[in-house]
Amino acid sequence: MEKKEQEVIRKLKKANKKKEKSNYIWVLEITLIALFISFFFSFGSETILPNVGMLISIILVILFILIGIIFDMIGVSVTAANERPFHSMSAQKVKGSKVAIKLIHNANKVSSFCNDVIGDICGIISGSAGVIVADNIVETCHTDPLFTTLVITAIIAAFTIGGKALGKSFAINQSNMILYEFAKVISCVYKPKK
């Protein structure tokens, strides 16, 4: 191998090690974030749901399913979005355009947070909340506990999976628009560094 080629390979390996270290830190950060968000959502659902009526419990389960679907769509749209229109919008100082660019540059992290952290936590919480709803139905309507739990769990899984499948398709086709709307909301609380 030529000396020049060896130097290029050495630089590439050094850059890869730096990225690898950064990835380990990100994995640790996202794991801790997931732990705290999961604890907060679980605590909320376990303390609130048993003390509210069946209608409120069902509405909260639906809300968790919708949050999971929406964040899944955001995660997909960030990875599928085209960066070019946002640079044009940024030059015209359109609100949210710089945030959108930053999100696209960090698409792997944004996608991981939206799809894996929020989406998966909402899926788990909606499942456990579904058990509480099933218990309420069993107590109120005197139905078979096993059958009621199976039906509620199946309905939650079907709506979650179907909603995410529909949402992913929509997110791929409307990625720039979804990202733009999300970036506008984020830009209210976050201003990227220049």
Q: For position 22, what pLDDT does the model report? A: 65
**Could you say which DSSP state residue 117 is in?**
I
Total length of the chain: 194
Q: For position 62, what pLDDT does the model report? A: 93
CB 171, CB 73: distance < 8 Å: yes
Q: For position 2, what pLDDT does the model report? A: 72
Backbone angle region of 52, left / alpha / beta, with phi > 0 → left and psi within -120 to 50 → alpha: beta
Give the 3-state secondary structure of residue 81. Answer: coil
Residues of the chain with pLDDT under 50: none
Burial 147-176 (b: 16+ CB within 10 A, else e): ebbeebbeebeebbeebbeebbebbeebbb
Q: For position 65, what pLDDT does the model report? A: 94
Task: Please state, as a whole number, how many other Cβ atoms lie within 10 Å of the Cβ of residue 116.
Answer: 15
Q: For position 34, what pLDDT does the model report? A: 85
Q: For position 11, what pLDDT does the model report? A: 64
